[in-house]
Structure 1
């Protein structure tokens, strides 16, 4: 099972949209895909109609049961979506308490990695949607992954958030003794604005080959797809947003 983490220490840059869009395309290719919501705000869970306040099982249970976790425990926490082969491990607001209650316990940074290892034969790809805050949840997501996808809105303030994210990965890499395969994704790109054009140039100047050569455009169909609780590729397959994510997926899979 491949594990991809979608992360940025700034909110509103397209992390959940990227997780859902890539997950939908992979599932439509026949891949078995698990999307993991590690954000207490639970945007990914709500996208698919899963109420974070009412769900009986969530990623929080994985942490609570970490000392006696089995494959069955993990599988029991998953929720199907309207799309075949696409599943969600939902979030709950209780995740916001993890740093305070369990963050200092030994081994808490590897809980998600160990949980995914137990179900590695059940899925082809797992995609982890991160909170925009450095804490035990982001540490887990980075420790578990093979590749880090960093959506970055093409505007000035988002670039500052990217700087923090890259520094975080450098620190984490030294701690985990691993180097992250990182792909920076320019998102919400509007070619009509000077700000978007300048931001994309700055990304390439500062981060070079780590920046994907394409862009994810502004596309209102992303919002429309969330209303019907489907990835954009299933709801509006002929749109430019789908085309952009399909090109990105081809690069990620190589």
Structure 2
């Protein structure tokens, strides 16, 4: 069975796209057939994996609002990854989808057509709670919330959790909230630990291990059109590899996901 994971947080700058790309590469290295879906009109995932959104003829936009088949828009993204890219055209998809019956299920129906081709689908939701994010959450089996370890990190978390609850009540009752993934983590400071403790207490939200450390390698990888797993060894790559192993064990064996104490 294909596992669909949505990565969502309507607050920007939380390493959401980095998490999608790096986790996808780590799962691919574990032998999984991985499809990444860029639902962000800014096309950050598409760009970070070495493709210029302005030069693409077809994208996820054509799948969601037109008659284009999923396989017609898929492109190779290196490191064993397949990408359903985004372009700026996706910015107009919100209004167009509002006119469609069953609009929240559009992505779910599209992904069903390629379910046999992939083991894992990771959806990079846009930094908003509009129709595109609702599509990502409706299509997903589970949702992961990247959360930067900085002041005011919890802003918007409550709203996202309410949206997840509404999705579970209306369009996707089986959606599993995995928890918050700490990003931009600096183990040398008590501030990072305090932020995570606040989020855990305030929202009763599991905080997953391992935390993703702050490293310049993330910016370097995006600029080179690859993921942080490519190139020299670094702590960020090791953390995403460990997270991928934990997720795969949870999906295949039912092993509980490790959390921070």
TM-score by length of 1: 0.92
Matched, 1:240 2:235: yes
| Range with bigger deviation, 116-125 or 27-36 | 27-36
Tell me how far 1:205 sits from its aligned partner: 2.0
Task: After TM superposition, list the pairs within 5 Å mapping 1:206-245 onto structure 2.
Answer: 206-208=202-204, 210-236=206-232, 238-245=233-240
Matched, 1:95 2:90: yes
- Alpha carbons 1:82, 1:229 under 8 Å: kept: no
Tell me how far 1:104 sits from its aligned partner: 3.6
Q: Tell me which residue corresponds to 1:44.
A: 45
- Which whole-Å CA distance do the structure 2 matches of 1:190 and 1:176 have between them? 38
Alignment partner of 1:172 out of 155, 163, 167: 167
Alignment partner of 2:201 out of 185, 196, 205: 205
- Which whole-Å CA distance do the structure 1 matches of 2:104 and 2:113 have between them? 16
Q: Tell me which residue corresponds to 1:12.
A: 13
Task: After TM superposition, list the pairs within 5 Å mapping 1:78-227 onto structure 2.
Answer: 78-83=74-79, 85-176=80-171, 178-182=173-177, 183-208=179-204, 210-227=206-223
| Range with bigger deviation, 147-156 or 36-45 | 147-156
Change (3 A) 1:82 1:92: same
Matched, 1:54 2:50: no
How many aligned positions are there?
247
| Range with bigger deviation, 207-216 or 226-235 | 207-216
Matched, 1:34 2:35: yes
- Alpha carbons 1:110, 1:144 under 8 Å: kept: yes
Tell me how far 1:204 sits from its aligned partner: 2.5
Identify the structure with the greater helix proportion.
Answer: 1
Change (3 A) 1:87 1:196: same
Change (3 A) 1:235 1:103: farther
TM-score by length of 2: 0.89
- Which whole-Å CA distance do the structure 1 matches of 2:19 and 2:227 have between them? 10
Indicate the SS of the match to 1:235.
coil
- Alpha carbons 1:81, 1:88 under 8 Å: kept: yes
| Range with bigger deviation, 177-186 or 51-60 | 177-186
Matched, 1:23 2:24: yes
Tell me how far 1:16 sits from its aligned partner: 0.3
| Structure 2 unaligned regions, length at least 5 | 251-261
